[in-house]
Structure 1
Amino acid sequence: MATANDVLRIAAGELGYSRWADPEPGTKYGRWYAQSHGSYFGTSGVPFCAMFASWCLDRAGQSFPGMPAAYVPYILRDGRNAGRQVTTRSAQPGDLIIFNWDGGEVDHIGFVEINRGSYVQTIEGNTNNGAVARRTRSWGTVAAILRPAYTGASGSLEGIGHGTLQVDGSCGPATIGRWQQILGTSVDGVITGQVRPSGYARPALQSYAYGGDGSQLVRRTQEILKNEGIYSGKVDGLAGPKYIDGLHRHLGVATQNMKPWTNWGYGLGRALQTRLNQGKF
């Protein structure tokens, strides 16, 4: 069995996958499912949202009634029969979220990443024209929330500023929430208000959202980096290349004569987690 964070870390690691860029027929999730359920699922054009969710749970070692599966209505039926459905607005990180677009049979499934109150942030397969992507959804499209029997604490962000972080380089909600707690900003486990990268990458930053006017956490750290003389950009809350370079220097990952360090990789993530486990930044 696994924790909700285990499953979300695996799902977030698949962000950016596209069936159009896959060099083999079908999708990686469909080919995996086809090994036990028939060759049809490994062919091109087969919807893969349910198989993506099944793959993530399987990789984490987390079971769920009726899964692995390729048909969302069966997942909903078996989850309900097993008593795994919870009220929609109580959705927590790691929950399975099921959508209905037209009032008929349910259509689509993904994982809850963050419950924002007025809407929900998700990670889904077979979305954005055949990709694995982070989405924001209104509650009006949500048909059901199903909760796997995770081990340990629930996926709630309550108490996220406590406990020891796993030093794996993956900067998900637990890492970002701890960082926010230490620096005294609001704690929601996500770097909000970002723009899409251009010329740099953030593969290890796995808890962020686009849109808005930058992140309170990033602004606070930009001020710290400016005071240290290792960041020359604006205090705008955007985790761009100059900011990422400054983080490398602040955390001792890079030296002053080696630059630019513009990609937020797993080495930077591990250094950040190690520092946060010391209760400081």
Structure 2
Amino acid sequence: MSKHNKHHSLLLAPTAMLLAVTMAAAPANAAMNGFDVASYQTADVTCAVQSYDFAIVKSSEGTWYNNPKMAAQLTCAQNRGKRIGVYHYAEGADATAEADHFINSIGGYRGRALLALDFEMGGNRAYYSSGAGDWIRTFVNRVHTVTGVWPVVYIPESGVGKIPADVRANCAIWPAAYATMRPTGYQAQPWHAGRFGEAMRQYTSEGVLAGYAGRLDLDVFYGDGSAWDAYARGGNGSQATVKPAPKPSAPAPAARTIRPVLTVDAWLGRASIAQWQRIMGTPVDGVVSGQYNVWYRPRLVSVTHRNHRGSALVRAVQRKYGLRQTGLLDRNTIRYIQMDVGANPDGILGPDTARRIQIRLNTGRF
């Protein structure tokens, strides 16, 4: 998901009690492997990845955003016979309005795609509030009332306790926790697997799968295709035979990765910005455009201060962290970058932050 700090659970008998019983009794190989994506991945990512069972695609955020690549990403997966899902990124505004926006965004995929709520900290004003549980409850109840489907709830593992008991009784959970930030393929037994009796778990944002050069969020679903379909329909599950999960994927060929090109000098000039743009898949001109002239970016030297319309590069970075996509490199965006690269999150783009960004860019990823 859009996101970094993602940290989920088995469907706990909502109206689908039979599904819960079926899944609980399933053998150890009752699992499917897949990934979740947003618009900062390519439109053909689900065509490019060679081996997967399912793909979950961001459809909406708040009450204002729809993923322009959703249809292409879902179509690629469907054309290959894969299971699909769609998720809404919570912004913490009015929960009913966000649920309605999500429902409207998925259109004809209702009943065909697993539905999910992505409730995490980045850009979500409700996450740390005392009303977090009420917000989740209002959202999932609204989705169920309109669609007849209980959405799966994605949440960082540290936030599972925010989900009220009545929501857990109806909705599966999808916790995320990462043991390391090292690149990995599919994992049969990821860190903390089954800790909450989850339906699905996200275990890395550094997934490397053959056919796609970028990094992916990797997930394991504890059920077979019939179980997945039951989530999507809101039905009562199936006794169908479970399909074994695919073997772990080999890393993408090294020739497809971006080679280190930067001198680490702690100044973000044209070369650094151009490398960043190439990695994020935005137009490459070596300039962060459309910014305000502010004091807290002393080491960003390739920047323009005209129009104040923001930068495509900054929007791509903000999508990665699940932030509002203003395109403006403000202090909050800088703090998320700093937490990602291991710098002091003071919101000031100084020499240490610039150096760490360059080191990250020289790995060919961000």
Normalized against structure 1, the TM-score is what? Answer: 0.37
Normalized against structure 2, the TM-score is what? Answer: 0.28
Q: Which has the higher contact order (CA 8 A, sep 6+)?
A: 2
